[in-house]
Structure 1
Amino acid sequence: MRPESIHARYAWVFPLSLLVLIILNGCAGSGGERDSGGQDTVQIQRDPGGSSTFPVPPEIQDNVDFWRHVYGIWSRGEVAIHDDEHLGVIYEVSRIPGPIQAGYSASQKAWLDSRTGYHASRLKMLEERIRTGQTLTPGDKELLAKFEKDGGVAALYGASDRLRAQRGLRERFRRSVEISGRYEPAFREIMKSHGLPEDLAYIPHVESSYQTNAKSSAGACGVWQFMPATGRSFMTVNDHVDERYDPILSADGAARYLSQAHRRLGSWPLAITSYNHGQGGMAKARSQHGNDIGRIVEHYDGKAFGFASRNYYAEFIAAREVASNAKRYFPEGVNYEAPWAYDRLVLHHSMPAEHVARHYGASASRLADLNLHWRGAVRDGRASLPAGSTVWLPQGSMKRVASQPPPVSVPIMLAREPKVAPKQEKSQTAVAMAKTSPSTARPTPAIRTASSGKKPAPEPRVAANKPKPDTRTAANKPKPTPETRAANKVRYHVVKPQETLYRVALLNGLSVAELRRLNKMSSNDNNIQAGQKLKVGI
């Protein structure tokens, strides 16, 4: 029987001695688990998430199990009082008295203070009895045995100062799993396109519970919780657009960060932990303890390597376990949201968001709801969208509006190959369109109509830099050879600094596989360099 099953059997506080016994017995990993209603819900998996890619060394197994309880077993109306270094030592799991809200009421804080004070007194008394050689009670012996298992007897000393309370997050995590249905398929495709493990898509469960408007007190924003400085290194963050708030765009930034971290640190446990602690901090930890995340968690005492950093990888493993087995952890059902499937434009030139909305028959407020990365000045019309900005449109907007469909038109799911459409001709629509793909479609500046009372702008051009006409006579023009005719049909993309294979593919309406094929790259080759010339069309 596991510790999460106990709350069906206690009133407010479960007896400490029996709780410790249950935890010790539960480590064997046999049998099922029961929720507060007494129903069997979860079969134990002693090594959740263990693999060569995401290993779970013995030193962090209790941490993983603790967070598995927090995410999938303990409700928001329950609180666990535990040791903040040895998470296998849990003193009690109690129901919070009174109405359950986001925070604690004054009376609930007083209650929690009394419970932690009680356990602090017990620990101090036990420590004193051992120091002075006094006889231990049966409860003392059971508690001491737990410390002997997790950290040794020496771990008992100072334990009264390491008390911590953790509320359950089961309801919040269940909602996070539901929202993940909207974004996780795209996140997985993005990770895959960068040659990374797809399961890195579980990180938002730890970072933000998939809350798109999440903002930390330190300034980290969005589903992927990028800080401003880090965000500017991996995406667009300026006065008009902040891509940290766009789940899809920031997922690409996260993939680029994680790829960089893995190249530097050499293992996924360290790269994932660096998402919280930084690459420099984890490089220092690695220099002292190697790539073993268990040794680092147990022994590294670097600056700022506190509770959050020590537990970050364990939280990821636990979130991966619970989210990938949602039916077992949430037998009441999970209503996954529909996958993200919207048309994407990338603007060739700056223009007001209202122009885009008017052209595609959508309200400005509807576009603002879809484009979470637009900042206030863009949303209320005080500033135009900068060139290169992404615009998400209701699915099918391109086909409904364009007089000729763009060369490529597919939804956000990257697994599908792009469709080939007829050659685009001049359009008299308010916005001339360029290529569109899961992440790119670029309209040129809008034409102001006569009804606006302003002078119409020149007819938009599909290409920003249209070549000048050749004024030489036909007699003087060199006759094209088969080689030059073939060369003229080939389109190339010159790689810009920090561009990835995935980004180049999207900008040119290709899948990553097709881009690799055109350039005779292997299926696992993701290495490109600034200035490199890639073939993107024939």
Structure 2
Amino acid sequence: MRPRALNARLVWALPISAGLLLMAGCASNNLDSQLSDTGRQTSRDYGDARTFPVPAEIQDNVDFWRHVYGVWSRGEVAIHDDEYLGVIYEVTRIPGPIQASYSASQRAWLKDRMDHHRSRLAGLEQRVRDNQPLSADDKALLDKFKRAGGVGALYGASERVRAQRGIREKFRRGVEISGRYDQTFREIMRQYGLPEDLAYLPHVESSFQSNARSSAGASGIWQFMPATGRQYMTVNGHIDERYDPIIAAEGAARYLSEAHRRLGSWPLAITSYNHGQGGIANAKSQHGGDIGRIVKHYKGSAFGFASRNYYAEFIAAREVASHPERYFPEGIRYEEPWKYDKIVLRDSMPAGHLAQHYGTSKQQLAEMNLHWRDPVIKGDGPLPAGTTVWLPAGMTRRIASQPPAYTRPAAVARAEPAVRSVSSPAATRTAVAKTTPKTKPVAASKAPVVAKSSTKAKPAKAQTRYHVVKPQETLYRVAVQNGISVEELRKLNKMRPDDNKILPGQRLIVGI
């Protein structure tokens, strides 16, 4: 176990002086000198090297991110080479109050520190090119580059200076939150035949922050982009399942299963979660399936710092989260596991109707159902049929699991003509809206309108029923809307047991 006092030794007290570069070069020879009980780890130490290998080319990257996640605090910043992460120029404390972002004075301070290192590197490169005498500081740093990638690694280093703040506190909080979802995420991965430890991926994506949203538009714990999210779940103005950790975990499992089948290894499948399957397939075609060679040699236009480091970050997050006693000796208070009941609505209905049935409020339901958007919560639109609803544990044992179908007030219903039952929630809403333009769309009665006949009708010949896939629909949604299981839907359409891919406009058999 790491001594409690070790945090006091994490930051090297480096004055701004001519000796800085030498001190940085020597101190960064072994990042794990700061974790004396852990020691420098090899790929074997990260567990299951066959599934999640750590080739030599990314060993320094993994060590770097272990320190970002489990050693360096938010008040510390490492200034380093952005290609050779084992080359660290300094790790120092940020002056002044520590906030989520840098203050103007802290930004100016950091710029000065980075400019200092850029200047020293440019000078060293010139002296090496001109075969000039080198100082002891110069030689120490040059040796660092030689070990990282040869003398050539020094060239251009002045343009690769990068700063990285520690996130130890944020990561630790993510480990605590993960107690809520870890067991369920692992069950989902097992159901899809995937390695359970893929449940650690949200540590890299969001630190398990359910409302996380990137500047590019990725949302939720699993950070799905809107377009990708629509391939695996419902994403629209009323329901955005990217924000539901459990539903999004199922989407992530399906994506990773497809990526592994296409790319052939977990390092490549995991990297594609950041870079896309097409980009990684291109990298594989050029450099083979070894993640180390790809990270070192692939120069795809979008394969930047984030993509190069994504797999290393996953390995580091897995290491830190699975050994909290090494990195967080102060202790971890895991949140209680997810214990809510789950139902899937057969009928479209307002959230208020659902809350009334279960004796709770819309606000309480909204706190459990993070995928509900404002129009649903405010009552401006109904919950569509097929919507997942989470309820307090044990609720469905005390109260009927499915609330009664929503019926409009009698005064309104009498003023409107009967509406024939239709096959999909969207069609139902459209049909109702055409007859009741001044009222909010509501679910139509299940009973179809049947014309009376004076003669006995002959039994109708059984006909194959079809469903045309609409934009944003998933295999699961189609199955729910048509009253069959996903497995039955796959069998009817001669799909593989693990195939979940459907396309808008595709005609699926939903009954015979």
1:446 paired residue number: 406
What do residues 416-472 of structure 1 show as CA deviations (whole Å, max 9, x unaligned)? xxxxxxxxxxxxxxxxx3xxxxxxxxx45135688x9987x99xx9x9689x9xxxx
Instruction: After TM superposition, give the deviation of residue 397 of structure 1 in Å.
Output: 1.4
Q: Which amino acid aligns with 1:95?
A: R
Structure 2 spans left out of the alignment, 5+ residues? 419-442, 451-458, 460-465, 503-507
Is the Cα contact below 8 Å between 2:58 and 2:295 reproduced in 1? Answer: yes
Query: How do 1:256-271 residues align onto structure 2 when only pairs under 5 Å count?
Result: 256-271=254-269
* Alignment equivalent of 1:10, drawn from 7, 10, 13: 13
1:437 paired residue number: none
Structure 1 spans left out of the alignment, 5+ residues? 35-39, 407-432, 434-442, 469-476, 478-493
The 3 A distance-change label for structure 1 pair 508 and 393 is: farther
2:356 paired residue number: 358
Instruction: After TM superposition, give the deviation of residue 395 of structure 1 in Å.
Output: 1.3
Is the Cα contact below 8 Å between 1:12 and 1:95 reproduced in 2? Answer: no
The structure whose RCO (Cα within 8 Å, separation 6+) is larger is: 2
Instruction: After TM superposition, give the deviation of residue 398 of structure 1 in Å.
Output: 1.2
1:46 paired residue number: 42
Query: How do 1:253-332 residues align onto structure 2 when only pairs under 5 Å count?
Result: 253-332=251-330
* Alignment equivalent of 2:387, drawn from 386, 389, 412: 389
Instruction: After TM superposition, give the deviation of residue 49 of structure 1 in Å.
Output: 4.4
Greater percentage in helix: 2
The 3 A distance-change label for structure 1 pair 319 and 261 is: same
Percent identical pairs in the alignment equals: 59
Is the Cα contact below 8 Å between 1:98 and 1:108 reproduced in 2? Answer: yes
Query: How do 1:379-458 residues align onto structure 2 when only pairs under 5 Å count?
Result: 379-402=377-400, 433=402, 443-447=403-407
Q: Which amino acid aligns with 2:173?
A: R
The 3 A distance-change label for structure 1 pair 110 and 197 is: same
Q: Which amino acid aligns with 1:296?
A: I
Query: How do 1:31-430 residues align onto structure 2 when only pairs under 5 Å count?
Result: 33=35, 42=38, 44-47=40-43, 48-49=46-47, 51-402=49-400
Instruction: After TM superposition, give the deviation of residue 11 of structure 1 in Å.
Output: 6.0
The 3 A distance-change label for structure 1 pair 65 and 500 is: farther
Cα distance in 1, alignment partners of residues 362 and 320 from structure 2: 39
Tell me the SS of whatever aligns to 2:235.
coil
* Alignment equivalent of 2:25, drawn from 10, 20, 25: 20
Q: Which amino acid aligns with 1:33?
A: L
Cα distance in 1, alignment partners of residues 34 and 273 from structure 2: 34
Cα distance in 2, alignment partners of residues 503 and 156 from structure 1: 57
Cα distance in 2, alignment partners of residues 156 and 529 from structure 1: 47
Cα distance in 1, alignment partners of residues 478 and 172 from structure 2: 32
Cα distance in 2, alignment partners of residues 529 and 390 from structure 1: 20
Instruction: After TM superposition, give the deviation of residue 9 of structure 1 in Å.
Output: 5.3
The 3 A distance-change label for structure 1 pair 144 and 496 is: farther
The 3 A distance-change label for structure 1 pair 23 and 465 is: farther
Instruction: After TM superposition, give the deviation of residue 495 of structure 1 in Å.
Output: 12
Cα distance in 2, alignment partners of residues 504 and 377 from structure 1: 26
Instruction: After TM superposition, give the deviation of residue 175 of structure 1 in Å.
Output: 0.5
Instruction: After TM superposition, give the deviation of residue 23 of structure 1 in Å.
Output: 3.2
Cα distance in 2, alignment partners of residues 79 and 68 from structure 1: 14
Is the Cα contact below 8 Å between 1:236 and 1:243 reproduced in 2? Answer: yes
The 3 A distance-change label for structure 1 pair 49 and 305 is: farther
Tell me the SS of whatever aligns to 1:311.
helix
The 3 A distance-change label for structure 1 pair 207 and 83 is: same
Q: Which amino acid aligns with 1:45?
A: Q
Q: Which amino acid aligns with 1:371?
A: N
Cα distance in 2, alignment partners of residues 183 and 198 from structure 1: 13
Q: Which amino acid aligns with 1:10?
A: A
What do residues 277-319 of structure 1 show as CA deviations (whole Å, max 9, x unaligned)? 1111011001000101000000000011000000000000000
Cα distance in 1, alignment partners of residues 67 and 483 from structure 2: 45
Tell me the SS of whatever aligns to 2:389.
strand
Cα distance in 2, alignment partners of residues 500 and 291 from structure 1: 31
Cα distance in 2, alignment partners of residues 374 and 144 from structure 1: 56
Instruction: After TM superposition, give the deviation of residue 239 of structure 1 in Å.
Output: 2.3
Tell me the SS of whatever aligns to 2:310.
helix
Cα distance in 1, alignment partners of residues 204 and 365 from structure 2: 28
> What CA RMSD, in Å, does the superposition of the two structures yield over aligned residues?
4.0
The 3 A distance-change label for structure 1 pair 94 and 50 is: farther
Q: Which amino acid aligns with 1:353?
A: A
What do residues 141-174 of structure 1 show as CA deviations (whole Å, max 9, x unaligned)? 1101110011110010110000000000100000
2:431 paired residue number: none
When the two structures are aligned, how many residues end up with a matched partner? 462
